[in-house]
Amino acid sequence: MTARRLEGKRCLITGGTRGLGLAMAKAFTRHGARVAITYRRDRADADAAVAALTALGGEPLVYQGSVADAAHATATVAAVNAAWGGIDVLVNNAGVTQVLPMALIEEADWDLVMDTNAKGAFLFARAVLRGMIRARAGHILNIGTAGSERVLEAPIHYAAAKAALRGLTDALAREVGRYNIQVNLLAPGLLDVGMGQMLPKHRIGEYVEQASLGRLGKAEELAEIAAFLVSDENRFMAAAKIVADGGL
């Protein structure tokens, strides 16, 4: 592992107060980045995340709101730009899911999952792009799921939203690559956080049996992959989908 591979980078991570988002915020801080995080509603999680990042030597910025709210996206990006003079890295991590079969998914459930996982990424990417284009540099990393890349049993609204995020990654990477902006997607399998804590034990057991490595992933492992993907060491990946699922 290259020490402090993100030295001086100005990074914004949506949904950065718990789970994989918090693991990435910690890893980026350890690698020398300045980190701003967003959260939707749990102030206790936000306070704990700020304390954890401060203990690592960071001076995190934190903003509350829904990623599906255009005003929140615009205001957050403007605030980070005002504080730091720009944003080098955006990680669209904020997401939500529900472990429900098709027959029990209400229209409101569909809208919540699609808006958070797909629309939120669009809004924040749109908000940061003007500054990145002006700087002729930037990384946008979208956090997808192996469920949209492999034949896995996943809630259909979650899989559909993440598949949309994959399409957004492809199209945006081609649109902004001319400005030296790299857009990529990291697709984790089941981790020891998030959905890996929500599924029934027998479903988790099935996953572990099928995975070549015979275990769930660790959030810290995926965070280090993310740190490489948004670093200057990664200069030639664009529209890439990095699947880290333990070898399904």
Question: At 143, is the secondary structure helix, strand, or coil?
Answer: strand
- Residue 200 gets the label, from left (phi > 0), alpha (psi -120 to 50) or beta, of beta
Q: Provide the domain limits for residue 160.
A: 10-244
Provide the domain count of the chain: 1
Residue 102 lies in a domain: yes
Q: Is 158 a catalytic residue?
A: yes
CATH number of the domain bearing residue 203 = 3.40.50.720
pLDDT attached to residue 2 = 63
CA–CA separation, 136 vs 177, rounded Å?
A: 10
- Tell whether 138 is covered by a domain: yes
pLDDT, residue 152, reads 61
Instruction: Note the pLDDT of residue 67.
Output: 98
pLDDT averages per 10-residue partition of the chain, 248 residues: 87 98 98 98 97 98 98 98 98 92 94 97 98 98 81 78 95 98 96 80 88 96 98 97 93
Catalytic residue selected from 39, 158, 179, 207: 158
Closest to 165 in 3D by CA, of 226, 120, 211: 120
Residue type, 218: K
Nearest to residue 97, comparing CAs of 154, 143, 153, 152?
A: 154
Domain for residue 105, yes or no?
Answer: yes
Read off φ and ψ for residue 230, nearest 5 degrees.
Answer: -100, 10
Residue 3 in domain:
no
Query: Is 67 inside a domain boundary?
Result: yes
Asked if residue 1 is part of any domain, the answer here is no
**Whole-number pLDDT of residue 200:** 80
Q: How far is CA 168 from CA 10, 62, 122, 206, in A?
A: 23, 26, 8, 31
In this prediction the pTM is 0.96
CA atoms of 13 and 21, how far apart (whole Å):
7
